């Protein structure tokens, strides 16, 4: 009987806790608590408006203008000051990466957690379905996916 080999796993310096989409957020300066407003799970677009705007669009996607945020909570997994680099990827229902944004964050020695808030002014629509906001953390020379949040976009004849 063959003995299964165990692969050593190198732990990351921070732990991904969660990400959520919201129209806006507010961080209380005294308590450092965050309030999230109008959580976003789904967007319904009018078929007629999308068809008209797609005729006029010049790029690979249709920018649907509305402000929103991707809020991510990180937690320390090591002691001391942690400098980390992360990436947000937005992937459409067909698997095409639409955005690939890098960001750096720091967790000071006395902090337990770090919150990162990414602001967006528009959503790049390509097709109906579930879009995925992936969060990746840099480990060595590569990025490792540590979490994701889905966002469904539907087309309808009329918005209810």
- In tens, the pLDDT along 86-138 reads 999 999 999 999 999 999 988 888 888 889 999 999 999 999 999 999 999 99
Contact call for residues 97 and 61 (beta carbons, < 8 A): no
User: What does pTM read for this prediction?
Assistant: 0.86
Q: Which domain holds residue 92?
A: 14-156
Q: Does the residue 7 lie in any domain? A: no
Nearest to 136 by CA among 107, 100, 96, 111: 100
Q: Does the residue 3 lie in any domain? A: no
pLDDT in tens, 30-87: 988 899 999 999 999 999 888 888 878 777 888 899 999 999 999 988 888 888 899 9
**The domain that contains 142 carries what CATH number?**
2.60.40.10
Q: Does the residue 63 lie in any domain? A: yes
Q: What is the 8-class DSSP label of residue 94?
A: T
Per-residue pLDDT at 36: 96
Q: Does the residue 1 lie in any domain? A: no
Per-residue pLDDT at 9: 43
């Amino acid at each position: 009987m063959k003995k299964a080999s165990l692969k050593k796993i190198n732990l990351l310096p921070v732990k991904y806790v969660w990400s959520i989409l919201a129209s806006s957020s507010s961080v209380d300066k005294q308590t450092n608590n965050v309030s999230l407003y109008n959580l976003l799970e789904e967007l319904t677009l009018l078929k007629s408006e999308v068809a008209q705007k797609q005729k006029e669009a010049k790029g690979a996607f249709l920018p649907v203008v509305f402000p929103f945020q991707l809020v991510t909570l990180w937690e320390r997994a090591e002691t001391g000051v942690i400098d980390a680099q992360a990436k947000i990827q937005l992937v459409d229902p067909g698997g095409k990466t639409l955005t690939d944004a890098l960001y750096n964050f720091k967790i000071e020695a006395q902090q337990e957690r770090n919150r990162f808030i990414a602001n967006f002014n528009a959503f790049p629509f390509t097709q109906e379905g579930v879009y995925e906001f992936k969060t990746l953390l840099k480990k060595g020379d590569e990025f490792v996916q540590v979490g994701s949040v889905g966002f469904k976009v539907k087309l309808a004849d009329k918005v209810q």
